[in-house]
A = this chain, B = another copy of it.
Amino acid sequence: MKVEAGAIWENVVKIREEAPLVHNITNYVVMNSTANALLALGASPVMAHAEEEVADMVKIARALVINIGTLSPHWVRAMKKAAAQAKERGVPLILDPVGAGATPYRSQAALELLTEAGADIIRGNASEIRALVESGATTKGVDSTSAAEESLQAARELARTYRCTVCVSGATDYIITEDYLVKIFNGSPMMPRVTGLGCTASALCGAFAAVNPSSHLAAAHAMAVMGIAGELAAAQARGPGSLQLHFIDALYNLSREQIEGKLRAES
């Protein structure tokens, strides 16, 4: 399970050639920027959240990305319906538990989704990943000496419980399964100042999962591409406004040479 520039590039090419349909049930804040990032990469985004149509949409999608950033009850019902359909059909399911831990409602919704349909990839920041474990009834919690180590323990616990890949994103991104750990060091400190780049990362996990049967590699490739495009953008940006623009252009123009020259991964 080594992360290699050549394999990332092959996946990028596949996404550009096949333009896989990625079905997003995501939050209002990031719908536009998520769709633009998927299009820039080469995938085909669709947003649909009505209980009346999510199952039909999952049928034609090659990945389902569920993001709980701006929840309400009828959205949660639709997410569950879509997730069940994805599970039934073997469509890769990515869960982004935005804000888990901030309110009980969010933690609960994320755990219900996981309990009912599982996930192939869970991507969140350290506190969201910890919150999923701390709120969960099926776990005995984590004890550790540092916040970073605690997050990794929580991620491993989640990966084991739901038999999935967990991605803890931050200055270093950790992509974790029960057996493997990959670290991606790419990215720019200005990225958290653009809203929704975490949500974009989850959507890109969907695009890569559509063309790569290994959830672990799909998540690692997505995070590497996020970080590399972020670095390329930051080199030209004068603030988060221009960073966002250059990030989209960088995804669109991403080359094999850029991936080979910039990838910093450890597995």
List residues of chain A with CB under 8 Å of any chain B CB.
27-33, 35-36, 39-40, 45-53, 56-57, 60, 69-74, 99, 102-106, 192-196, 237-242, 244-253
Q: Is the CB of B193 within 8 A of A39?
A: yes
Q: Is the CB of A39 within 8 A of B245?
A: no
Q: Which of B72, B239, B251 contacts A249 (CB 8 A)?
A: B239
Q: How far is the CA of A71 from the CA of B78 in the complex (A)?
A: 12
Q: Is the CB of A36 within 8 A of B71?
A: no
Q: How far is the CA of A72 from the CA of B241 in the complex (A)?
A: 31
Q: Is the CB of B52 within 8 A of A73?
A: yes
Which chain B residues border A27 with CB–CB below 8 Å?
Answer: 47
Contacts beyond the supplied A50-B105, A238-B253: 13 A-B pairs with Cβ under 8 Å:
A29-B32, A40-B240, A46-B99, A48-B71, A48-B99, A49-B70, A51-B72, A53-B105, A72-B74, A237-B249, A239-B251, A241-B249, A242-B245
Of A27, A194, A196, A241, most buried by chain B (CB within 10 Å of CB) is A241
Q: How far is the CA of A239 from the CA of B251 in the complex (A)?
A: 9
Beta-carbon nearest neighbor of A192 in chain B: B39
Which chain B residues border A48 with CB–CB below 8 Å?
Answer: 70-71, 99, 102-103
Beta-carbon nearest neighbor of A29 in chain B: B31
Which chain B residues border A32 with CB–CB below 8 Å?
Answer: 29-30, 32-33, 195-196
Interchain residue pairs A-B with the least CB separation, the first 4: A239-B249, A241-B248, A35-B195, A53-B105
A35 touching B29 in the complex, CB below 8 Å, given contacts A45-B195, A105-B53, A249-B240: yes
